[in-house]
Structure 1
Amino acid sequence: MSILDPLQFPAGPDDRVSFHRTELAPILSLYGRMVAAGEWRDYGISALRDMAVVSVFRRTAENPIYRIEKRPKLRLKQGQYAVVGMDGQTLKRGNDLTAVLRVLERKLIRSVD
Structure 2
Amino acid sequence: MVDRANGAEGGEGSAILIPLQDIRRDRETISVTFDRRELDQILRVYGRMVAANEWRDYAIDHLQDRAVFSVFRRTSEVPLFQIVKNPKLARKQGAYSVVAASGNILKRGHDLARVLNVFEPTLRLVGA
TM range (shorter): 0.7 to 0.9
Higher relative contact order (CA 8 A, sep 6+): 1
Gaps of 5+ in 2: 1-25
- Counterparts of 1:97-112 in structure 2, within 5 Å, are 97-106=112-121
78-87 vs 98-107, which moves further: 98-107
State yes or no: 1:87 paired with 2:102: yes
Question: Partners of 2:119 and 2:70 in 1: how far apart?
Answer: 13
Q: Is the 8 A contact 2:29 2:64 kept in 1?
A: no
Instruction: Please point out which of 36, 51, 63 is paired with 2:78.
Output: 63
Instruction: Output one character per residue of 1:17-75: Cα deviation in whole Å (capped at 9) or x when no partner.
Output: 00000000010000000000000000000000000000000111100000000000100
In structure 2, do the counterparts of structure 1 residues 16 and 103 end up closer, same or farther at CA, with 3 Å as the change threshold? Answer: same
State the aligned residue count: 103
State yes or no: 1:27 paired with 2:42: yes
TM-score norm. by structure 1 comes to 0.82
Q: Is the 8 A contact 2:107 2:118 kept in 1?
A: yes
Q: Is the 8 A contact 2:79 2:101 kept in 1?
A: yes
TM-score norm. by structure 2 comes to 0.73
Off by >2 Å, runs of 4+ in structure 1: 11-14, 109-113
Gaps of 5+ in 1: 1-10
Identity across matched positions, percent: 55
Q: CA deviation at 1:112?
A: 8.0
